[in-house]
Structure 1
Amino acid sequence: MEQPGLANVPVETHLLLGCCREADQAEVAARGLDQLRAALSESFHSHLIALAEEIRGSSRLLRDIADRSQMHITRVPFMTNYLNVILPCISRTLKDIIAHYEDKTLSREIRWRKMYNKMTEEAAGLPLPQRFVLYNHFLSLLKQLLVRSPSFDLNTLETLRTRIITLREQRGIDLTAPPTPQTGTLVRQNLVPVAVTQDRHSHWAEQIFSLPLPSRTALKHLRPCKSYGPFYPLGHLTIPQDSTVLFRRPFDNDTISIVVFLSSVDQCPYFLMRTVQDNTPWYSMFGAHELCIEREGSALQLKRWSRSEQCSKLWVALHFLTWEEMILFYCAFVALKARNLLTVQIHPNEFQLRREKRLFQAQIIDDGFKHSLIVYEDMQSRGLRLHAAVWEGELRQCPVWTAFVTHQSRSPTWLSRRSRHRIWLKDIQLYVFCNTYRQEHMRQNKSGAFEIHFDREEAAKRFKELFSVRPAVSETSENEPVAEPSA
């Protein structure tokens, strides 16, 4: 991949590239602080941990803004002046931190003390970790401005802008051409009506990854994710204005990210991949209907069709830290592809995830629909999950919901048979992949238990027996430590 020419690149693109560069620099600074902490006594650890985590938060926010800007390109000019305010300030702060901990003329303890005290003093007493709290609050508001969030507060953004301008003055960062903020009218115009409309007609995928995980089962044999392209520079992909972001998933410390959005033109889902090479972001995009999915160990592989070579080629291999997140991504992909109007057909193999053993299957009546209920056991992690899919018709086998069987199932009250056809499950969380399904219709009882209504009495009996004769979750998988937060 060649470095894109920047001579005639719009100022907005320069700033978004700047977001990516400072995100990389933030990761370097955070790793350096981790190494410094390892060499110091425990009494210094709390401040170092707090600072490194806030710096990593800045890195995530900067990359998130750059990624989401592709779907909200007409909103980027509203951020231009604000990015001009904060990026030089973040850049100087990170460079100073790196310079302090790389000063080998001093002991490590003196490096840390000098860094913390000097940088706090030059910011008029604002402690160093709190400086990044300020940056991150400002960046969070810029993200809200970009996506038209109903939580956006212009007054708070302006207040924080003033504080950062003051910090720039204290640091001696050039203010010869101080940026002028956009007017309140431009920023606020149509902000609330658009947000309300989106909330009222929200897509199931917008919240599928915002629900907390009831368990975190670590996957083994992890490798770095790998992307294969074809790639294009920032701003070279045509993405319809006002497309709706469904979810964004970062991988490998955000060196690769996947943004899934609904096109405002055809209302079909598209997958936008961003990777970074030589501190430069590169992008690749395909519709869900143009991709196929399969599992390889701890990874989900997305493949595309190469017209020039007339064969299937890898687009990206995504390695997941936890089995639960891999399952959610897989189910979300299949549901989006199956319900996509541009999808011609789905290969039967895509409805079956490799290395999952089917322990049970039966027909259920679920919110008025006929569904298949399947119990899967993951052969690698030993995790168990319930999986409901469409029983018949064009969408047959399309995921409707899944639920992970956790340690709660060891309780004798977790499962109870209420009649010949009905079983109640307590303490179970559903992840729903369908806009028309309403799980609350299956929880209309005093305890709020989820009701499964089996088509046949024998099926209800077999389901109850399955969980009566086997441990619900492997102790090893349940207690396996996960190295870092969600992939």
Structure 2
Amino acid sequence: MELVPGAAPGGHIEYHLLQGCCLEANRADVVAFHLDGLRSALAGPPHPHLTVTIEEIRISGQLLRELADHSQVHFSRVPIVLDYLEIILPCLSRSLRDITTHYEDRTMTKENRWRKMYHAMTDEAAGLSLPQRFILYNHFLTLLRELLTRSPNFDLNSLESTRLQVMQLRESRRIPPPPIRVGPGMRPDANLDDMDITSTVHWAEKIFSLPLPSRTALKHQRSSKSFGPHVPWGHIRMPSDARVLFMRPFNDRQISLTVYLSSREKCPYFLLRMYHLGSPWFSLRGAHELCIDRDNSNLQFWRWSPGEGRAKLWASLSFMTWEEMVLLYCCFLSFKARNSRTVQIAPQELTLRGERKLFQARILDDGSRHSLIVYEDTMTKGIRLHAAVWDGALRQCPVWTAFITHQSASPRWLKRVSKYKVRLADIQLYVFCPDYQQQNQRRGKAGAFEICFVSEEASKRFRELFSPTPPDSTITTKSAETETTETTEKPEKS
């Protein structure tokens, strides 16, 4: 891990408050862990109020880290949330510290510790129960995240009413009023800034919001690592038009990856956040500056070191499921291929190590020529369909992928409707292309997905590959690949 020393150029107040988000997130994790231990020690029936409290405290930690992460990307908008952070952080911190005092009280039984904690903290909050208190905190933090990120769901009236509730809670607990800051304030139209960059949904924003049809566990799990070089908060200046496409946490959120797009540059960037001695540190690279490969359950990203004249590991990110690994890999490859700043893509980047090709053929797909490949992961035995650009400047760039689930065992899943066409009754596509419209390939009321092969033989082989009742002369993987290659056009090697 490389750290680049130096003080954050942002103001002291800004850094202090965002550092406070990270510190309170860590405190929330510790409190939730100890309350979970307390719950396990309690006898008798379940304790739903304690269970809800633990879950909401965990959510608080998650939201606090998200605020800190988003603040690095939406740097120019940080001033409009500072006053609100001054309101909630001391109140939230006091609640977490009070809970710690109660569960560490060795003069009482564990049953009485929970009862006293619940009733005493409810009474001091004018009847607001302990679970409801953290639900209130989390609603407030969610609104701040939406304000910071220009979310279309942001509600200014809701933020104001929630602010008043938190202020009442502060007053009832005799927490001094927050300081008055002189500087940028909250304008009624603040959330309308740069609406042009949020008017349409980018394909990458949909990828990790879709539910996974299957979750195939990866073995040999290892920790994720960020190798840097790293700089402290505020050293990386984000463009004013930065638009977050997705965020992925690793190592129980100790590391996070934020992928954002600069609309003016049309360039996607990868921002890593990790912690060192309790402080957040960041490392930033454009997709065009990185190379990717796979090491078992990890995706590895490499950067070029001009000083050493060689490639160095930038990050190694560990995945619990094969599907999530594939999705991030395909996103990265599409980002890099479609980036005007990319000089070249190494041939080995175009295939995911550990997958073997079972089938390949040319298809006509939404009016374009694509290559359809069936991959099998040798580690998990997971199977997926993968469509890529057939030729031209974007040749082999991912267009979509789809994971084959248990549904493929049904005789109704795949139907050959003509010499060249097959339909899949239940398949979910993850699309990595801005222009691809999968609805143009959907047929019938059930929306079966139609694949149109250029070769009749390819259509036949594809059907046999997934047939639950194969013909007497079983086609081996090797012969299927050979015959398919002979009857279809195969892309040239990079």
Q: Which residue of 1 aligns with 2:90?
A: 88
Aligned to 2:121: 119
Report what 2:111 is aligned to. Answer: 109
Aligned to 1:238: 237
CA contact (8 A) 1:85 1:179 kept: no
Summarize the Cα distance change of 1:436–1:8 in structure 2 as closer, same or farther, 3 Å threshold. closer
Tell me the residue number matched to 1:286: 285
Contact 1:428 1:450 (C-alpha < 8 Å) held by counterparts? yes
Q: CA deviation at 1:177?
A: 3.9
Structure 2 residue matching 1:70: 3-state secondary structure: helix
Q: Distance in 1 between matches of 2:170 and 2:398?
A: 52
| Alignment match, 1:78 | 80
Partner of 1:463: 462
Q: CA RMSD in A?
A: 2.1
The residue identity in structure 1 corresponding to 2:250 is F
Report the CA distance shift for 1:282/1:193 in structure 2 as closer, same or farther (over 3 A): closer
In the TM superposition, what are the counterparts of 1:71-220 in structure 2 within 5 Å? 71-175=73-177, 177=179, 186-189=187-190, 191-192=191-192, 194-195=194-195, 197-220=196-219
Q: Which one-letter code corresponds to 2:174 in the other structure? A: G
Matches within 5 A, 1:82-481: 82-175=84-177, 177=179, 186-189=187-190, 191-192=191-192, 194-195=194-195, 197-469=196-468
Instruction: Answer whether contact 1:81 1:182 (CA < 8 A) is retained.
Output: no
1:30 match: secondary structure: helix
Counterpart residue identity of residue 164, structure 1: V
1:49 Cα deviation from its structure 2 partner: 2.6
The 3-state SS of whatever aligns with 2:86 is helix
Q: Residue 32 of structure 1 is aligned with which of 6, 28, 34?
A: 34
Task: Give the counterpart letter for 2:153 in structure 1.
Answer: S
Distance 1:123 1:235 in 2: 36
Q: Return closer, same or farther for 1:181/1:111 CA change in 2, 3 Å cut-off.
A: farther
Q: Secondary structure at the match of 2:45?
A: helix
Higher alpha-carbon deviation: 261-270 or 163-172? 261-270
Asked if the contact 1:81/1:180 (under 8 Å) is kept, the reply is no
- Cα deviation, residue 238, structure 1: 2.2
C-alpha separation between the residues in 2 aligned to 1:167 and 1:352? 56
State the Cα deviation string for residues 245-286 of structure 1 (Å, max 9, x = none).
111111112110011111244220110000012211000001
State how far apart, in whole Å, the 1-side matches of 2:282 and 2:158 are.
Answer: 33
Structure 2 CA distance for partners of 1:330 and 1:384, relative to 1, 3 Å: same
CA contact (8 A) 1:360 1:376 kept: yes
Tell me if structure 2 keeps the 8 A contact 1:244–1:264: yes
Cα deviations by residue, 1:407-431 (Å, 9 ceiling, x for unpaired): 2222221111110111111121100
Question: Could you tell me how far 1:2 is from its partner in structure 2?
Answer: 8.0
Aligned to 1:61: 63
CA distance in 2, matches of 1:67, 1:171: 30
Closer/same/farther in 2, CA of residues 165 and 357 from structure 1, 3 Å limit: same
Kindly provide the amino acid, as one letter, of the partner of residue 435 in structure 1: P
Per-residue deviation, residues 58-103 of structure 1 (Å, max 9, x unmatched): 1111111111112211211111111100010111111111222222
User: Residues 372 and 128 of structure 1: is their aligned pair in 2 closer, same or farther, counting only changes over 3 Å?
Assistant: same
Letter in 1 for 2:209: S
Name the aligned partner's letter for residue 98 of structure 2. Answer: D
Aligned counterpart, 1:475: none
Is the Cα contact below 8 Å between 2:80 and 2:185 reproduced in 1?
A: no
Match of 1:28, as an amino acid?
V
* Amino acid paired to 1:390: V
Q: Which secondary structure state, in structure 1, belongs to the residue aligned with residue 238 of structure 2?
A: coil
Aligned-pair CA distance for 1:398: 0.8
Give the residue type in structure 2 aligned to 1:442: Q
| Structure 2: distance between partners of 1:48 and 1:359 | 51
Greater mean alpha carbon deviation, residues 45-54 or residues 142-151: 45-54
Q: Distance in 2 between matches of 1:264 and 1:368?
A: 27
Q: Distance in 2 between matches of 1:470 and 1:21?
A: 58
How has the CA–CA distance of structure 1 residues 88 and 2 changed in structure 2, closer, same or farther, with 3 Å as cutoff? farther
Call closer, same or farther: CA 1:38–1:109 in 2, change over 3 Å: same
Q: Is the 8 A contact 2:8 2:232 kept in 1?
A: no
User: What is the letter of the counterpart of residue 76 of structure 1?
Assistant: V
* 1:78–1:187 Cα contact (<8 Å) kept: no
Q: Counterpart in 2 of 1:483?
A: none
Residues 39, 311 of structure 1: alpha-carbon distance in 2 compared, 3 angstrom cutoff:
same
Letter in 1 for 2:430: Y
Gap change, CA 1:124 and 1:44, over 3 Å in 2: farther
Task: Kindly state the Cα deviation for residue 21 of structure 1 after the two structures are TM-superposed.
Answer: 1.0
Quote the offset at 1:107 in angstroms: 2.1
Measured at CA, do residues 45 and 387 of structure 1 come closer, stay the same or move farther in structure 2, by a change above 3 Å? farther
**Quick one: which amino acid aligns to residue 314 of structure 1?**
L
Name the structure 1 match of 2:480. Answer: none
- In structure 2, C-alpha distance between the alignment counterparts of 1:370 and 1:458, rounded to whole Å: 17
Conservation of the 8 A alpha-carbon contact between 1:84 and 1:179? no
CA distance in 2, matches of 1:209, 1:300: 17
Q: 1:385 to 1:97 in 2, by over 3 A?
A: same
Instruction: Name the CA distance, whole Å, in 2 between partners of 1:233 and 1:171.
Output: 34
Matches of 2:329 and 2:91 in 1, distance apart?
40
Q: Which amino acid counterpart does residue 399 of structure 2 have in structure 1?
A: V
Q: Give the C-alpha shift of residue 446 in structure 1.
A: 3.0
Measured in 2, the distance between the counterparts of 1:293 and 1:382 equals 22
TM-score by length of 1: 0.92
More off after superposition, 452-461 vs 98-107 = 98-107
CA distance in 2, matches of 1:16, 1:470: 60
Which deviations, in whole Å up to 9, do the C-alpha atoms of 1:180-210 show, x marking residues without a partner?
99866x1424x34744x33443321111111
Change (3 A) 1:257 1:6: closer
Instruction: State the 1:290 CA deviation.
Output: 0.8
Cα deviation, residue 34, structure 1: 1.8
TM-score (norm 2): 0.90
Q: Is the CA contact 1:334–1:399 (under 8 Å) kept in the aligned structure 2?
A: yes
